[in-house]
Structure 1
Amino acid sequence: MDDGGTTWILELEEALLDEVPPAQLKVLLAGRALPSSLRTDVWSHCLDVSGRKSKLEKFDDVYDHPDQAQIRQAAQKFSDIQAVSEVESILTVYLKDTGAKFQSKYVDLLTPITRLSLTRNEKYTVFQTILERFVPVESDNSDSALYHLSRLLLLYHDPHLCNHIDSLKINFSDFSTSWFSSLLSGDLSPEISEQLWDLYIVNSDAWLIFFMVITMLVNCRDHILEINNDREELLARLKRLPGQIEAEDVPDLVTLAQVWSARTPSSFKSKYYHTIFTAPDPASEMEVKSILCLPVSPQEVVSSELVNSQFFVVDCRPAEQYNSSHLSSAFHLDCSLMLQDPTQFSTACSALLGFHQTAVLGGQGEHLVFLEEGRGYKRAVSDSICRSLTEQSSEHSKDKYLVEDNMNMAVSRFLQQHTKFTSILEGGFPSLHSNTSSIQTKAPEEKTGGGKPGEPGKLGLLKDNLKTKSENIKSSLLNYIYNPQPHVSHIHRNSKQYKGTGDVFCLDEDEDEEGIRTLEDVKRNVDTVHLADCQRVSETGQLTNCFLLLTRTHLTTLVNGGSEDKLATVSSHHLSTIVKITSKKRQPEVITFKYGTSNKEEVTVFDMDRFFIPTAGKVTSMVKQQIEKLKDS
């Protein structure tokens, strides 16, 4: 991706000299291909290699590891004599120090590292740091939690695809072991591995490999779904997926992985980090292997309520418990109806999906999170659960288990119907009490949602709840999200490089001083050609809900302006400044608009916006048509 010549490279060189934090390098790189001349410096800086001592410094050149023959043979794959010697020394010292056995993944991981212009000691430090920071532990264990967690992430984003792979009895460990153990270096050429690791190391996100796997699977979903009965053919096709990655695909792969990551509840990362990347924890391992779908922490749900309400909470407790106390934005679903009255339950599910779709269209509640009375999210539906009911002496315990089982069966129904973004709240309803003041308590005679007993909670409750939140908190957060303060070099300290500081054209002279308008005003404006609900992709891959407004002369990005029906302008560009519109080859919903000037020989880009647009084909077509109309006028 080339957007502005070599200026960004000069900025990157200056940032390295200034020893800025790696997070600022990530912003400067912004998905571009890192020049090979800067690779050693960038890796060394981000991995903090300089000045660190390694075990290799005191190596006595005694090559006597029990697997020494395997180590020596594996080192012979390198054509350079110096690389052969370095690999054998590094592996011998590392395996003797850790007491580990030789595995082929170590050689795969060393392949990109041997190409760096570093000393042998520094290469050892890079190797050790990458292993400790990025490579999941127990990747050689086919029943490791990492493979079960990978499946849960695919189930969250594409349950149809996940169910199809499950139906042919294919586990993630059957095809992705080398992907995780070598960070794809064992499946790619050294040149492509280097480019992939450039972005991986700069982003410094250990979880990125999980979302790269999701990206590869989802991008090839049609080729996967077309194989219905041949397990071996599908398995072979899955194993070949990394081989389709070319050098020009690497920035897209990383960007899309960041998009998937941003669209996933993040609380699982802190919950399972230790058992995935440090040391297996038996309790966490068992939990990951047994849960029905991705768990979400109550803290994350409550934080979302304060800012953007990205969760649509489905309360599966009995009606009397829901009426007594519930999260004010929750939708009540009586899961006991699934067995007692399937027809009524089906009607309730249709109502739920209808309210959910309305919430999504309003920019809220994209993610479904189910909750029950408590403690049940760890257990999946199984015969053993049902049998355990007969062993309970307390009627309350039996009722509690029944609620949990009913919820799990309901969640299973939604997953079987390929409902995306389905999760379960950790700890159930009790966990919310200690995390929020948004619990709504009602008198016994009051009806659920103001209607009949057990009636689903209205979507309006969610909006009413948001109105009670601190506008100061929301304004501060929005200001932080949309007005970051990145590193600015001397080259651009007096320029208008960053969004929000460039030329912003007013769309409507009737706007107030702050550029705040209502959604209805925008829709009714005679200049409005099209208004698309989408998400803005930041330079670091973060997603933010927004609207993309196309008028007769401008393309404008609008965001929530502090209240539910107010919109504020983030950026606006005249259509004549759009010099290029590109889409991601493997995910056409990700659209990039590049703004600048052009002549017959040269295109100069001065700004860029990237969006995730569900109706990308329609939007880009309308933008192009409007540009042509301007040219003809």
Structure 2
Amino acid sequence: MDELLFTLNDDELQELKNTSSIDGDEDDHLFGTPPPRNRSKSTGSGNENVDWELTLSLETTLQLIEGEPTAPSPNCSEELIQRILDVCRGRGGLPDHLRGKVWVILIGLYYNNKSTKHPLIEIYDLKEQNELRNDCTEFVAKTYSSNSPEEHSSIVSSLESILTSYLKHQKVAYDKSIILGYLQILKPLLTLNLTDTQLYNTFRMIITQYVPRDVFNEHGLPFHIFRLLLLYHEPEVCSVVDSLRVLPHSYASQWFLSLFSSAIANLQSILVLWDVYLQYRDPFLIYHMALVLVLNAKDRLLEIKHSDSSTKKADTIQLLSTLPANLEPSDIPDFLTISQHYASQTPNSYRRMFESALYGNDSFLTLSNSSTSPCRRVAMQSLCLPVAAEELLNSIRMAKSLSSNDSTDSRSSTDAYMFVRFFVVDCRPAEQYNSGRLPTAFHLDCALMLLEPVKFNTAVQGLLLAQKDALNVGAAAGGEHLCFVGSGREEEDQYVHMVVSSFLQRNTQKVALLSGGFQSLHELLYPDNIEDGLADHNPLTCPECVLQKTSVTPSSSTVSRDGSPASDSRSKLFTAKLSLFSSTLKAKSAEMKGKLIDYINNPVASGGSSGADEKHVKSSDKNKSKPYRNLLPVFMIDDDDEPSDEASPSGGLADLDSTTDVTHFHPGTRIRSIKQFLKQHNFHWSCSEVLSDGSHYEGYVIVTRDNLLMIRELDRDTGEVSLNRLLNSIIKITSKKKHPELITFKYGHVVKLPSTSSDPGKEGDEISDKDRGGGEEEETAAEITHSDRFYLPSGSKDFVSNVKRFIDSKNSSDQ
């Protein structure tokens, strides 16, 4: 088709304008007989705006297609579509009289007089037929107010016929909001020179190929995908919109449903937009079009957020929903070029993950409205944009190829750079990282976030410097897109999720997470490419290899006749399993992720071990509650968060079985059934035990008349006692002001001190004997010997309050 793409000089163009009688009538037999009516007035652009070179090229190409002996098939072949694209791509709006012919080719339909894939249904017997007719009548009266009454009737008849046929063929129930969306899609189609049957099939194909399913659901899959894309490219804007509690559905649903037809005021702008959009043949491009619009409103969104308006949410929805309204035809080429740029700067994995769930031959409403739909659940639960292992490995291979080839030809190749380059951050424990990793991966110790926040921040700064240096020198490891890698096991990857969250909270752009973690990489490479694809791989200590061997190798194969080689191998496998189990236990519970993010990102404000945020009770607070162990209550919790002295909703002290004795449950005691054990104790809370090294163990804390018991979960049914403390050994219960969920119990005993004149209400550990009920001549102090920490995502106030009440009750009974 190169011979068609010639350039005309000014004289030839003027002669063509003066002599051409192209009006579309002579070529109508190619696509069928046109309707004997004008559907809409003033839909053309006028000859003064016609691109005559494009017009001539398209006319010539369409005539060649018509002159071919036989049509390829009722569905256009890829070759036929490519011939049209070779002429149209990179151009502006299509000529009005050729638009219909080009569109039906681009969406995969080839019309002739002999066959149409789906005929119209001539029987109008829907239960809501009158409502449907009224909807069509109202739409025509509003949209085509300048047309004559006769034309109104003709258009209403066409619309009703098309929509009735579609509802019956696709078995879609009538809904007014659905019909209004369909009518908006039909608005630009009515300008095409097509029969009703051709119009119906064009309408059906556009819905099937370009309108995403689940678009009417407030929490539908398209809106979760759009939010992930917004979070990927501009987390600050995403944070602003989220903070105002504005859901994408509230402003983007009509964009996705009507392909912007309902949002753009100028009909010619809609036609030009669809001209170029259909040429890209990419249904996901509409998400990036919406993304460009929202990003363009960043400054105005920030103004709304920081304003004193009482209608911030409504103002935001109004702003966003009207963003496309003023697009002019001249704006469309740049608008789509920028949208395509963002699409090219986005990992493609999400397309493969969700394409079959969003587009296809079924109705776009067939995706279940339940939040348990697998694809929707994946999108809802994704912390950031997911990247598949295949895409990550392909990116690394191409980056290596480019960095190793310094020839000018390869550097100048456009196709060589048409992929996303990742800077890989491996967040697995060090022992797993050293047992096998991607050759371009950098290691980041996630455990530092809680244990050593300052060191963690230093590591992050070093990581970002390494990324910058790698980009500057063009190294294979360099990439603008951050891809975080976890193990792929949920119980281990909670620290990884916390790291990713911290980067997003810093408004770091282009943050992605490897879907399935290192486990998915290993499965993809194992066994043939494992050594080439991974660096420093040790199959004896690699957790994934250990699991592979354990699952595929019979147990008898590990035992040799002399016993020695098999024993060594079994020992190494056991060591690797133990390492894997240890890293699993070090991970915190899933419930802690959201609650601890503030604590992680504000280590100074939240306090480390300095106790700057801790508050001792003052002498003026001595009458606020009863003393326990004859000492003042030293709850170091902010006054506003101090536990109540009222009875717990779970019951009073009398509800506890007084015959229950847990004294003999020493640490290490196995609990066969946690559920049965908890039934014997009214006062128990779900929590995590936090050790001094930052390790977390999920389980339950139980309070009895005399003891504080912690049960760690080993699996769903069984548990193990990790600690058993006497209530009368509790000296202090402390908490951070900003994090009352993190409770510290300090244990010890009281020692006598020489008589001093110190203030009994002085802040600190010293408590006078007078306040314990003893003589005024003698003073005592609490000596701390050990401590325990518990994290309760909910019920922390209830927990502390009940512990205090048990201690008060025991002190009263002892006296």
Q: TM-score, normalised by structure 2?
A: 0.49
SS of the residue 2:535 aligns to: strand
Q: Which whole-Å CA distance do the structure 2 matches of 1:157 and 1:427 have between them?
A: 22
8 Å contact kept, 1:23–1:202: no
1:425 paired with 2:526, answer no
2:533 maps to which residue? 438
The aligned runs of 1:331-480 (5 Å cut-off) are 331-363=442-474, 364-376=478-490, 401=491, 403-433=492-522, 434-435=524-525, 437-441=532-536
1:158 paired with 2:158, answer no
1:91 paired with 2:156, answer no
8 Å contact kept, 1:31–1:255: no
8 Å contact kept, 2:285–2:339: yes
8 Å contact kept, 1:49–1:126: no
Q: CA RMSD in A?
A: 2.2
SS of the residue 2:319 aligns to: helix
8 Å contact kept, 1:174–1:235: yes
Selected match of 2:90 from 25, 30, 47: 30
1:97 CA drift (Å): 2.0
Q: Which whole-Å CA distance do the structure 2 matches of 1:224 and 1:198 have between them?
A: 31
Q: Which whole-Å CA distance do the structure 1 matches of 2:62 and 2:296 have between them?
A: 35
8 Å contact kept, 1:106–1:182: yes
Selected match of 1:142 from 218, 228, 247: 218
8 Å contact kept, 1:23–1:203: no
SS of the residue 1:50 aligns to: coil
After superposing the two structures, state which structure 1 stretch, 120-129 or 437-446, moved more: 437-446
Higher relative contact order (CA closer than 8 Å, sequence separation 6+): 1
Change (3 A) 1:416 1:26: farther
Code of the residue aligned with 1:406 in structure 2: it is Y
Q: Which whole-Å CA distance do the structure 2 matches of 1:362 and 1:209 have between them?
A: 35
Selected match of 1:280 from 367, 387, 397: 367
Q: Which whole-Å CA distance do the structure 1 matches of 2:383 and 2:64 have between them?
A: 48
Change (3 A) 1:367 1:193: same
Code of the residue aligned with 1:126 in structure 2: it is T
1:110 maps to which residue? 186
8 Å contact kept, 2:427–2:444: yes
Q: Which whole-Å CA distance do the structure 1 matches of 2:540 and 2:134 have between them?
A: 78
> Which blocks of at least 5 consecutive residues in structure 2 are unaligned?
1-6, 9-50, 66-78, 145-150, 307-311, 361-365, 401-420, 542-815
8 Å contact kept, 1:113–1:123: yes
Change (3 A) 1:147 1:221: same
Change (3 A) 1:24 1:361: farther
1:127 paired with 2:127, answer no
Q: Which whole-Å CA distance do the structure 2 matches of 1:63 and 1:406 have between them?
A: 60
Change (3 A) 1:171 1:341: same
1:362 CA drift (Å): 4.1
2:282 maps to which residue? 205
2:101 maps to which residue? 41
Change (3 A) 1:16 1:332: farther
Residue by residue over 1:53-76, the C-alpha shift from the partner in whole angstroms, topping out at 9 and shown as x without a partner, is: 24434x23x322122223212222
Change (3 A) 1:27 1:359: farther
1:75 maps to which residue? 136
Change (3 A) 1:207 1:37: same
Q: Which whole-Å CA distance do the structure 2 matches of 1:299 and 1:305 have between them?
A: 10
Residue by residue over 1:456-483, the C-alpha shift from the partner in whole angstroms, topping out at 9 and shown as x without a partner, is: xxxxxxxxxxxxxxxxxxxxxxxxxxxx
Selected match of 1:56 from 92, 101, 119: 119
Q: Which whole-Å CA distance do the structure 2 matches of 1:71 and 1:357 have between them?
A: 59
1:443 CA drift (Å): 6.5
Residue by residue over 1:115-144, the C-alpha shift from the partner in whole angstroms, topping out at 9 and shown as x without a partner, is: 110111000000000011100012111110
1:303 maps to which residue? 394
1:10 paired with 2:56, answer yes
8 Å contact kept, 2:97–2:193: no
2:268 maps to which residue? 191
Change (3 A) 1:18 1:410: farther
SS of the residue 2:299 aligns to: helix
SS of the residue 1:424 aligns to: strand
Q: Which whole-Å CA distance do the structure 2 matches of 1:212 and 1:18 have between them?
A: 35
8 Å contact kept, 1:311–1:367: yes
1:319 paired with 2:395, answer no
Change (3 A) 1:307 1:43: same
Q: Which whole-Å CA distance do the structure 2 matches of 1:171 and 1:31 have between them?
A: 36
How many residues end up aligned between the 2 structures?
A: 417
Code of the residue aligned with 2:277 in structure 1: it is Y
Residue by residue over 1:470-511, the C-alpha shift from the partner in whole angstroms, topping out at 9 and shown as x without a partner, is: xxxxxxxxxxxxxxxxxxxxxxxxxxxxxxxxxxxxxxxxxx
Code of the residue aligned with 1:75 in structure 2: it is C
Code of the residue aligned with 2:487 in structure 1: it is E
2:811 maps to which residue? none
Residue by residue over 1:584-617, the C-alpha shift from the partner in whole angstroms, topping out at 9 and shown as x without a partner, is: xxxxxxxxxxxxxxxxxxxxxxxxxxxxxxxxxx
Change (3 A) 1:164 1:24: farther
SS of the residue 2:359 aligns to: helix
Higher alpha-carbon Rg: 2
SS of the residue 2:187 aligns to: helix
> Which blocks of at least 5 consecutive residues in structure 1 are unaligned?
377-400, 447-633
1:320 CA drift (Å): 1.1
1:238 paired with 2:315, answer no
Code of the residue aligned with 2:248 in structure 1: it is F
8 Å contact kept, 2:438–2:535: yes
Residue by residue over 1:191-220, the C-alpha shift from the partner in whole angstroms, topping out at 9 and shown as x without a partner, is: 221111111222211111111100111122
8 Å contact kept, 2:235–2:504: yes
1:215 paired with 2:292, answer yes
Change (3 A) 1:405 1:95: same
8 Å contact kept, 2:436–2:538: no
8 Å contact kept, 1:54–1:121: no
Q: Which whole-Å CA distance do the structure 1 matches of 2:450 and 2:129 have between them?
A: 62
Q: Which whole-Å CA distance do the structure 2 matches of 1:311 and 1:347 have between them?
A: 22
SS of the residue 1:259 aligns to: helix
Q: TM-score, normalised by structure 1?
A: 0.63
SS of the residue 1:369 aligns to: strand
After superposing the two structures, state which structure 1 stretch, 350-359 or 129-138, moved more: 350-359
Q: Which whole-Å CA distance do the structure 2 matches of 1:64 and 1:265 have between them?
A: 47
Code of the residue aligned with 1:217 in structure 2: it is V
1:12 CA drift (Å): 3.4
8 Å contact kept, 1:55–1:93: no
Residue by residue over 1:249-278, the C-alpha shift from the partner in whole angstroms, topping out at 9 and shown as x without a partner, is: 111121111111100001110111112224
2:382 maps to which residue? 291
